[in-house]
Structure 1
Amino acid sequence: MDADQNPKASEKKTIGPPTTSAYLDPHYWDERFSDEEHYEWLKDYSHFRHLVQPHIKPNSSVLELGCGNSRLSEGLYNDGITAITCIDLSAVAVEKMQERLLLKGYKEVKVLEADMLDLPFSNDCFDVVIEKATMEVLFVNSGDPWNPQPETVTKVMAMLEGVHRVLKPDGLFISVSFGQPHFRRPFFNAPQFTWSVEWITFGDGFHYFFYILRKGKRSSADEELSQSHDKPLVPTISMFHEELEGEDYIFRTNIDEMD
């Protein structure tokens, strides 16, 4: 969620809405994407490219959830991964992304208007599903992070069940998040899923989490982790100036305020 690193004044945007509740409003996103050309949540691709490369092959079919106006798909494309499908709930975001990619000659990339809670794809059709901070929106107004509201649980599980369904039997789900493992594992390790769960941290200020979920690779160790109750990781407070000004600071402190 760091602010766009491009120095052009036209791409400098003010911090987001006064409350995170607005992130749940589709009209907010349509209005925002109408004016905003580019914004990267949770760092741009260059910050975690070294974590992605070992897991995505050039011939992989990739689904990106909640593409917004991120350049993640462009980064993947420039690394030789061209079978990419991007979805977003905002028709404005989809239209602008389509135009941008066509202008750059990325004709193979598909951009569709779709809801990640009801994925319009057949079973077992993607090698990789990737999301960057899209899942975070589902936790807005979730209440106590130790015991989220039932509505939050329902939405998160709908998303994960859809991702698990569209992944091929040996597919991979990559989630780039600031959600701490202690709070993500109960969802990721729900009994209906067959994937293993691991994560890597990255970032210079906030510690972001790069989750890797491998379908069909669940083990007894994953079962034990899902039942453990370790103390949650404490995020670092050493932040760069741009992170203090960025939208992820507001978003994260609101979500984590009860940690």
Structure 2
Amino acid sequence: MESVCTSERPNETSSLPATASAYLDPGYWDERFSKEEHYEWFKDYSHFRHLIQAHVTCHSSVLELGCGNSQMCEELYKDGTTNITCIDLSAIAVENMQKRLLCKGFKDIKVLQADMLELPFDDECFDVVIEKGTMDVLFVDSGDPWNPRPETMSKVMAMLKGVHRVLKSNGTFISITFGQPHFRRPIFDAPEFSWSVEYTTFGDGFHYFFYILKKGQRSLEEKISDKVSETPSISLFHEELESEDFLFRTNVEELNC
């Protein structure tokens, strides 16, 4: 009988799209995932493991948005969190992820094709929801980062409302992103949400933001704090800019020049 597992394709260098707006095209992702074995946006799990483990336990039910071909769910599983559901809009990404996890013996991880703007889950069914670079895709053609286009904000709010809905009453949303606090906090702090908002950074020289949003812990007196002065400067010469990640930073770079 033929083995379920086939030899993994070698890692292929990702082809950069002609424009950042191509990231909004489902066809781009299907084509990419049909060729690409693995790619990690915004660093791999080892770089933020110390941050994520403060909010995830072996008993946590976890939802990962936009899993793509990342290995984050595997790393979480190795750390003892086994109740994991991953979703992606691309049927090809889902099929490839299912095969890869089965091959490696991670049979308990569920992988579903689903749209993060219309989450197909019951209310309050996850302890933790995690996204890494997935929300950033919604902003690639947002225009002025201080005043994003209405159609962009409509999608972003649909995503966040869905996340808020599926989180348990004391659940936590973790967002790993390029989005600086002076752009993201006003969105996270919208009156529709009951979560508190905290953040930290990781990375050497070139910083990524790690937001922790705890549902049900927002104070009525809480005000949006101005942390613009605390935002790390962006180094155009850092080695990270050799990767594809820099495309998500384009609008912020232009604004800060």
TM-score, normalized by the shorter chain, greater than 0.5: yes
Query: Aligned residues: percent identity?
Result: 66
> CA 1:151/1:70 → structure 2, altered by over 3 Å: closer, same or farther?
same
1:9 positional shift: 9.7
Alpha-carbon distance in 2 for matches of 1:45, 1:229: 26
Equivalent position SS for 2:10: helix
Equivalent position SS for 1:258: helix
Alpha-carbon distance in 2 for matches of 1:15, 1:203: 24
Alpha-carbon distance in 2 for matches of 1:90, 1:80: 27
- Offset from partner CA, 1:183-231 (integer Å, 9 cap, x none): 0011100001000000011101321000000000001453x116x5855
Partner of 1:170: 170
Partner of 1:91: 91
Alpha-carbon distance in 2 for matches of 1:147, 1:118: 24
1:256 positional shift: 4.0
Alpha-carbon distance in 2 for matches of 1:126, 1:15: 35
Equivalent position SS for 1:191: coil
Equivalent position SS for 1:55: coil
Partner of 1:62: 62
CA contact (8 A) 1:126 1:167 kept: yes
CA-atom RMSD in angstroms: 1.9
CA contact (8 A) 2:86 2:110 kept: yes
What amino acid does structure 1 have at the position aligned with 2:68?
G
Partner of 1:18: 18
Q: Note the 1:104-123 alignment, pairs <5 A.
A: 104-123=104-123
Relative contact order (alpha carbons < 8 A, sep ≥ 6): 1 or 2 greater? 1
CA contact (8 A) 1:138 1:156 kept: yes
Which contiguous aligned blocks of 4+ residues in structure 1 show a shift greater than 4 angstroms?
A: 228-232
Partner of 2:224: 225
Alpha-carbon distance in 2 for matches of 1:79, 1:153: 35
Partner of 1:80: 80
CA contact (8 A) 2:65 2:130 kept: yes
Alpha-carbon distance in 2 for matches of 1:155, 1:55: 27
Q: Does 2:249 align with 1:245?
A: no
Alpha-carbon distance in 2 for matches of 1:18, 1:231: 34
Provide the aligned length of Structure 1 versus Structure 2: 249
Partner of 1:3: none
Segments of 5+ residues of structure 2 without an aligned counterpart are 1-7
Segments of 5+ residues of structure 1 without an aligned counterpart are 1-7
> CA 1:133/1:194 → structure 2, altered by over 3 Å: closer, same or farther?
same
TM-score (normalised: structure 1):
0.91
1:238 positional shift: 6.2
What amino acid does structure 1 have at the position aligned with 2:60?
S
Alpha-carbon distance in 1 for matches of 2:79, 2:23: 31
Alpha-carbon distance in 2 for matches of 1:255, 1:109: 36
Q: Does 2:233 align with 1:235?
A: yes
Alpha-carbon distance in 1 for matches of 2:177, 2:40: 13
Partner of 2:3: none
What amino acid does structure 2 have at the position aligned with 1:236?
I
Alpha-carbon distance in 1 for matches of 2:53, 2:229: 31
